[in-house]
Amino acid sequence: MYKVLIVDDELIVRHAVKSLIRWEDSRFEYAGSAANGAQALELITKTGADIVITDIKMSEMDGLELIKQLFKTSFTGEILVLSNYNDYDLVREALKCGAHDYMLKLTLKTEDFMASLAEIALKLDQKNSRRTRQIPLAAGTAEVKEQIAEWLKETDAGLAAGGDYAGRNAVAELLAGPPALQAYTFGIHVLKEGRSGQAAVKYQEMLYKIAESLLPGNRGLYVAAAGPERFLLLLVSPVPPAGGPAPAPQELAQRIKGLSKIYYNVEVTAVYGDPSRTWEGVAGQIGRVKEAAVLSFYTDHQENCIYSGRAAGSREEEQQFRVLENQFKDSLRHMNGTEIDLWLESATMLVRAAAELCIPPSSLKRAMIGGIWGLFNSKPVSGEVPWNESEWVEKVESACTDSHVLLIIQDMYDEIMNRIGKTAGYKFMREEIRLANAYLEQHFAERVFISEVAAHVGFSEPYLCQVFKAETGSSILTRLNEIRMTKAYEMLSSGNYLIKQVAMEIGIPDPFYFNRLFKKRFGVAPKTVKKIR
């Protein structure tokens, strides 16, 4: 049993945390509570608490000071920090001081608490195992590390031999045990690095340090460069005893991502493989991880940017994408001009679907390029002045993320509409168009489809696009973005919202895409709005 102490200066929070933990039939025992760090130190000495759940901001002695004081003593337990949304800097400092993890007070749930406590219990188990058995880490010599790192780079799913023989044999010997061992495989892609006047982080060293904290008592850590800002990580650890909880690779990948951001201010995507106990199994997982690495292209439409090595190459998902691609091609039929709105909507939906289905970026780009050629051969576009469609094709081919693809097709759409669009032709706006505009005003924060607007006003989609453009001078999607950007400016001007929050509130969860649309609309970046006031 592991004893748990709860520390918070608010009585209601202490009671809430205690009630959220399942004490019965678990490995945890309630050791008491304290209102500040000073009281906590006394109780830890008296009770021998193994796990401390503490707030950061408290009187007399806050959470940071409590953590520092604990690690100056013989305390060998773990610390879980409670924080608010605006405590980011304090949380980072707490983790640097040795805290295991943090949880937001406003989102506390029993399932999350028990998952974190289970992770801490496993960590304590491994600490105790190392102290009692005194088994040295099987990290290997520098030569062995180099051999395994080279094997990581060479191995792929189609290489039956498993890459370099020396490295393969080193992995096989490492996994032979005893004790029984298993290897976790991860592919890491560094996206962007926050700078604060310091030199760039050495990513391999960063990953080594992060991996060491994931599984204390690991029997081997190996990091190999697999391309620009891309790395392969092999983490070897003991197999848990029968019935014991084994760390899920997805959770470990999430921890790698979270710790990279918190400790080093580095954004990464992570692809994880299933744990394996043989070099053949590890070789297969490395191959799948490498295949799935291209999915980091979808960094802007995946909330967590965590992928399974099994995600790439699913035939069922490829077939689903083919159906959507055919619908995209159908949007080009019978176009008279303003129906180009339908093409843009279909293209946007196809990009989002590719992200959700984990489709290889090459397949998405092929579909987009086919759509561009089809659009420029359509009646409303081909009848205009000569157009350099090759320029847009090249832009799509060189796009490095899904957001870039969206911006390219949006820019192309805007340019087409400027050439073939017409100004408002009626003095008075008809009722159906007023209804359509009101619908956009009401539902701008949602994913709005032209078909829904058309059904609302009783028009067909092509006819609505045509009449809306004629009477308002802008397309439906242009008007929708105008409404969203105006609302975003109002929210940012209030000083009460973060840019990410605003983007979510107005229905554009992709921050990069939001920033570009905002700057295009107002000529300034969202972060400068408060400075302008």
**Is the same domain home to 169 and 234?**
yes
- Residue where a domain stops, chosen among 116, 133, 150: 133
Helix ranges, 155-222 (H): 165-175, 203-214
| 113 neighbors 80 (Cβ within 8 angstroms) | no
| Residues linked to residue 221 through DSSP beta bridges, in sequence order | 235
Hunting for tokens 């960063």 — which residue is that?
A: 206
- Read off the CATH number of the domain in which 94 is found: 3.40.50.2300
Sheet-wide strand order for 51-55 = 28-34, 2-7, 51-55, 78-83, 101-104
**Is the same domain home to 194 and 58?**
no
**Is the same domain home to 160 and 288?**
yes
- Alpha-carbon span 46 to 68, nearest angstrom: 19
Residue numbers of the domain that contains 434: 422-533
| Residues linked to residue 504 through DSSP beta bridges, in sequence order | none
**φ, ψ for residue 222 (rounded to 5)?**
-140, 130
**Is the same domain home to 286 and 340?**
no
**Is the same domain home to 355 and 473?**
no
**Is the same domain home to 187 and 259?**
yes
Show pLDDT as tens, one digit a residue, over the chain (533 residues).
899 999 999 998 999 999 999 898 788 999 999 999 999 999 998 899 999 999 998 888 999 999 999 988 878 899 999 988 677 778 888 888 888 888 888 878 888 888 888 888 888 876 775 544 333 333 456 677 777 877 777 765 444 444 556 777 878 887 886 778 888 999 888 876 444 333 334 788 888 888 877 776 677 888 888 777 888 899 888 888 776 677 889 989 988 888 887 777 788 888 898 898 888 888 888 888 888 888 878 865 555 677 777 766 556 777 888 888 887 877 666 555 456 777 888 888 888 888 888 888 888 999 998 888 887 777 656 555 456 778 889 999 988 888 889 888 888 888 777 766 543 333 346 788 889 988 998 998 888 888 899 999 998 888 888 888 878 878 888 889 889 999 998 888 887 888 888 888 898 877 778 888 888 888 888 888 855 44
Amino acid at 41: L
- Residue 225: closest CA among 149, 306, 143, 308: 149
What is the H or E stretch that residue 355 is in? helix 340-357
- Residue 436: closest CA among 407, 405, 477: 477
Q: Would you call 94 exposed, middle or buried from its count of C-beta atoms within 10 A (0-12, 13-18, 19+)?
A: buried
- Read off the CATH number of the domain in which 157 is found: 3.30.70.270
CA distances from 257 to 117, 285, 298 (A): 20, 20, 16
CA distances from 420 to 142, 245, 467 (A): 66, 63, 14
User: Is the backbone peptide bond immediately before 462 cis, with ω within 30 degrees of 0?
Assistant: no
- Residue where a domain stops, chosen among 268, 289, 308: 308
Amino acid at 45: T
Structure-token pair, residue 173? 């010997």
